[in-house]
Structure formats: C-alpha cells, structure tokens
Structure 1
Amino acid sequence: METFAKNLVLPLELSAVGKIAWALRQGLTYFISVLSRGMKEGLGLFALIQHIHGLAAIPVVKSDSQAAINISSMYGLLRRIRRIDLRLCWVQETLREQRSLLKWVPGLENVADIFTKSTIQRISYGRHLEMLGIVEKRAPTTVFESGEGEWDDERICTAFGKVVDLSVLEELESLLESVDPSVAWLVVQFCTSAESNMGKVACELRGVEVIRIIERENGLADETIAVLRSHIEQLRSLTVNVLIWWSIPCTGGCTWQYIHRQREGYTSHLRRLWGIQRKLFSGFQVLCREVEGMSVGCLNPLLAIEWPKTCQCWHWKTTKSFLVKHHRVVETAIVHGCSLGLVDQRGVAIRKIWRVDTDLHVLRETLEECRCDGGHPHSESFDLKETQHYTVEMCKKILSCLP
C-alpha cells in the first residue's frame, strides 16, 4: 500500500484501477459510472495521503473515453445517460470546484487495462506494471516442464504463433510515432509485403505516408492491433486522415477450393485457414470501429477492403454484417487489372477483377473508372500468384485521389 500510494502521489495522478476497472465498458453510461467511482476513490485516497504525509494535491483521473470526458466537463444532464444522473452531476460539480482533474489517455497508456486485458499483451502489460511500480515475480512452474526449461504464458503463446517479438512491436511503435503530424494522409496497408508498390509510390508523393503491416508484425496478435489502434486515434486527433487498406490473401475464399476439397485431408487444412482469416478480420474490425460517443468524421479512420470479385469471403456472414452495420456508408468499386497495367511475363494483359469496398467516396469513384475497354487480348496462361501484387499504376490511382 505504501509503494502504491507513493507512486500515486509523485505524479499526482490517478487512473481508474482496482475494483472499479472490471465494470463493463460497452457504453457511455458505464464509462461515466466508472469515472465517478474512480474520482470518489481518488479523493478518498488523496485525503488519506494528505492526512498522513501532509501533502496538498488533487487527484488526476484519466480515461480513454473522450466522450465521457466531454460530457463530464459540461453542465447539465443528457437524455441518453439516465439512471446515473446523480453520479454525473457530482462529477461535473467536482470538476467545476477543481477538487479533481479529468484527462484523456490513449488506450495503450491506460493502466486500468491491466485488470481487463489479457496479460499476454506483453508490450502494454509490461508498461502498465512499470507505470504502477509493480514488479512481477513468477512462481516456478511444473506443468510445462521440458528439456529446454520452464514454459511461461509468453512461450506457450509463441508456440501457437500468437505473440509478436517485443522488438518488432517497439519498431512498429517507433514507425507510427515518426509519422509527420502535418501529413494529410496515412495509409495503413494491412497484410502486405515489405516491398509493396503502394509503399514505394508513397515515397514519390507529397502529403501521404504508407505503413506496411507484414508477416513479422503478425496481424493475428492482439498486441499489434492495440498498438495500431492507439496510434491511429492519436493521429486522427491531430487531424491526420487515416485509411486502412485491407488486402489479406484470398486463398481460403478462392473458387478453386471447391476442387481442392476433394483431396483427402484438405478440408481440415481449409478450416484452419478460414479460422486465421476470420481472426484477421476481427482485428480489422477493431481498427475501424467508431470511437464511443464521437461524431462519425472525428477520430474514426476510413477503410478499404480488397478481394477478388469472386472471392467467397465477401459472402461470409461476418463480412456482410460488418459492411451493413458500419457507421459510414460503404460503396463498392469493380476494378479490372488489365486497365491498370497488369500483364503476364510476355506483356499480355491479364483480366483480373478486383472488388474494393470503401467508405471513402472519392476512392470508389476513382477505382470504378478502371474498367477494361475491350480493345486488347487477355492472357490465358500466367502465374496466378504474381497477380496478387498491385501494379504501380493502380497504387498511383489510389494514393493520388486522396483529397
């Protein structure tokens, strides 16, 4: 208790921790309820510290809900937060009387998450422990003993391919922090290669930067999604437009899978592949979700999903539900690769048809113009894998149309 109190007094700050952290945070009502409880405990704790040590200070309560902070800083009640009227009035009065302060904190810096998030998110978990002044000591384990030593939760998750190396996450954070806040657009290209043409084209254009999320960052990892989401919100608050370009491999949704499933044992392989793709899509939904209580155009990033037109992933319930329920209207563009310089090794045009769904209207209009004019032959013999890369011309179309 003494160490905990000391760490609270020195920075004169209080984060919503302890028993208040487990409260459900699915709506604005819950956020304000947690704020009021955190503020009460903070005032009580600081009164105790002042009585014992004679330190005069006020608690600084931090929250990652900007909407809750805005409403708490207002005067009066709102219809949509009934049942907690007295709590809200008390919070507003406490702030007006300057008995406590209320500040916003990025999700990755909110130490209350240590009570609500999985401890396998090592980069945030370790940071939260350090912020709280807690030293973690593991008891010896006997369950997963092996010839290579003890197995902790990090090694177990690594075995399942779910943990990203800490140095990789730190490098990703550094890359996101290096984004010029005066740049007009940041494009996050999800599940791509380290040498993608979109990244190369961005180097030739002003006002736009591209960050590639490749295999080493592992889009399946919750840590990667948490780092991205936190920095995306921060960049949006600095008025940087963010477009998340989603282009995971379409292997699991390819129509050829109907033929491959006839092979013995292939169905189980396909199901594992579907599981990975659904997990990736789940992370994508987290990146694109709206910020609680904020207007649609405020902190929320824009999106673009690209798969071949015939990919079965478009017909998954999760995909269709996401596109219908998304907080902005999502439009579809059909793109012909041959109109954008997609050719085989002999230089013959390839008529690959992409479908791009986006909530950025100007992007949809630009891509919809990319149709085959019918004035050239199409290749019937080409390496299908090579067609997964966007042409330079296509990347220029995408990035140049960003307003």
Structure 2
Amino acid sequence: MTHVQHPPQIRVPATYIRGGTSKGVFFRLQDLPPACQVPGEARDRLLLRVIGSPDPYGKQIDGMGGATSSTSKTVILAKSSRAGHDVDYLFGQVSIDRAFVDWSGNCGNLSAAVGSFAVSGGLVDAERVPQNGICTVRIWQANIGKTIVAHVPITNGEVQETGDFELDGVTFPAAEVQLEFLDPADDGEGEGGGAMFPTGNLVDDLEVPGVGTFKATLINAGIPTIFVNAADIGYTGTELQDAINGDAAALARFETIRAWGAVKMGLIADVAEAATRQHTPKVAFVAPPQSYTASSGKAVQASNIDLLVRALSMGKLHHAMMGTAAVAIGTAAAIPGTLVNLAAGGGEREAVPESVVFGHPSGTLRVGAQAVQKDGQWSVTKAIMSRSARVLMEGWVRVPGDTF
C-alpha cells in the first residue's frame, strides 16, 4: 500500500458547554486560527468541520454536533470594546446536512452559558467578579445587536455551576442563571424589519399557497417568530416530537408556512430564500391549557400552565423551547390581542413583572416580559427567564489542517 502524506490535524482551544436545553462548542475569538478570526468562508468551514457537517447521514458522527438543532451550535466570544458591556457574543447555528452556518439570530439557551464562560475565560475584568455572590455580566449579542444581562453565581472566585435549579428538558439540576433580554424587540438595528410587529398588526391573515390561510401573530422579539393557532393547523398543542418529526408531510407544511411568514415579515423577498435562512424566523403553534404527559413521563396539569406552545427549529419540532422563542412568547403574551395572549386567556395579564408559564414537550417554563403601550405602539423593556449552564469538557478540538 502506497503511503500518502496528508495534512496533520490542528488543534483549537475550545470548551463544550450545555446552556439551557442546548449545548455547543465555545471559542474565544483570540484562540481561533488567524484566518478564522474574521467573518467569512474560512470561519464557516472551520465551524462546519468542528461540528461534523455537512453530513448526508444526518448523524454528525465525525464531529462534536449531536445531529439536532439544539446540539449543532457554535459560539465565539471576545472581550467587548462596546461601552457598558463585558463581552461580545456571536452565535453560529450549523446546518446538519448542508455546508451552511446561519448567523441570522441568537441562541437564547446558550446565552445562559455566555456569562459563565466569559468569567472563567478571563473576558470579564477581574474587579467586576466578586469573591462570593452574583457577577453581572453585560453581554452584547452581536448577531442581533441587543444587550443581554446574565446573573452568574460565583463561589470562592469561581463560577458556581452545580446547584438545585431544575429546568425541564435538562436531566440534572444545576446552578440557576437569571437572564435579562433588554429591549428584545426589533428596533431596526438587528436582522429584518424595524418593528416588533413588522406588518403593523397584532394578528394577520397569513396566506400560504397550497396550504391555507391562517390567523398569525408575526413578532420580532428575541427572535422573529410566526405564531399560529394549533387548532387551525390540525393540532392540539400537546404534541411531542415523534408526532410531528416522523411526519414528512407535516414538516414540509411547516416549512412552507415559515417561508411565507418570512416573506410577510420582510425578512426575505422570495420564499426560495428561506432555504438559506434556516435559523430564523421560527414557527410555533399555541393552544389554551390542557393536561398532557411530557416526554420524560412527567404529568403537566392544565391548572399549572397559562397556555401550550410547540415550536419548530431548523425544520424539526424542538424537544423543549428555544430561549429566544421563549422571549417572543413572553412578549406576545404580555400584549393583549396577540394569538399568544388569547391562548393564555386574553386581556392584560395581572402579574408584575408580567409572566407566563407555558407547557412545551419537555415540561414547563416561566418567562416574564414588561410591555408598555405608548402612542398606540407596544414596546418591551425586557424579558426575564432563568436557565442553567454547565461545562461538559474543555481543551482543544481537532480538525484536519486543510479544513479552511
């Protein structure tokens, strides 16, 4: 057998972290190969190879990805040069089956791990980190141009990761990290549009050729999201992943709804563009409270939730709920007349800060949002939720030297 020399592997410092109900590979910008420290093809090729994409088998066996939208994720962090911020956070959603990294939105779940990684990675000034207590990490979310504040517990000068906070969709308890998404609605600086309700309506008639016309709430808050009523598309809102992810026709319908919703929101000019924008917008369906059994076998009682929500991410029903979509849910629930608000009983909700508990396939989640109306326009000052994060592995990832 002839010996053929191939380029050796290179190694890149990286940390594998669970944040909320997602996990991803985290990098400090300074640790990336020079060609990958700037946006572009070299960076995308590196991240694709790290995660193990594109994979026609849909398994990501030859990479760090877990072959789901929740586990095909990458994060790049850098010390922030922006006033009043500690760290710049850039999120890349890696396609599983195509050579494509989507930079169009944030990952709310991994946001929970950004503060912790920034502290342990030396990206937060030492004088801002208490010996014991809570470190307030001010994060600039570079994909969408928004501020997130993470409240990271610190014990003996180190990030506290263990604890008794339980999050449905995550097997083991951990330390609670509270996140504040400041001014989460689109203001024209981020991707797509320039208004929380890009059509100017709380509810639209969304025409989807070949599928039907549906009532829809189209909102830019946390992440652009298309909400429809479960009953209008033949569902109850209690579905688990298998009910939808094994149904190719249903997934195709949801993708068609998503594409036409994206056009109506002004995110794309033509439905054909949706294929190159898998991460945003999201499509979700809502229903009034109903008891069901979560994927873990846990019983969720209708009396303990305000509404049911199921959401799709990267073409599949999500196993729990995307953090950014939870921001959209909390925001829409706080605004009387949206489909989310109506599913939760309608009217102005009493809690302060406004909060809603919704049922998702893995259980329940509480999210709060403060919405105010001025001159007929709704705005949201912040959305709040609790997540947790834990480092799973740290060291180096290896990729072939000719990857990029």
TM-score by length of 2: 0.24
Determine which structure has more spread, i.e. the larger CA radius of gyration. Answer: 1
Higher share in strand: 2
Higher share in helix: 1
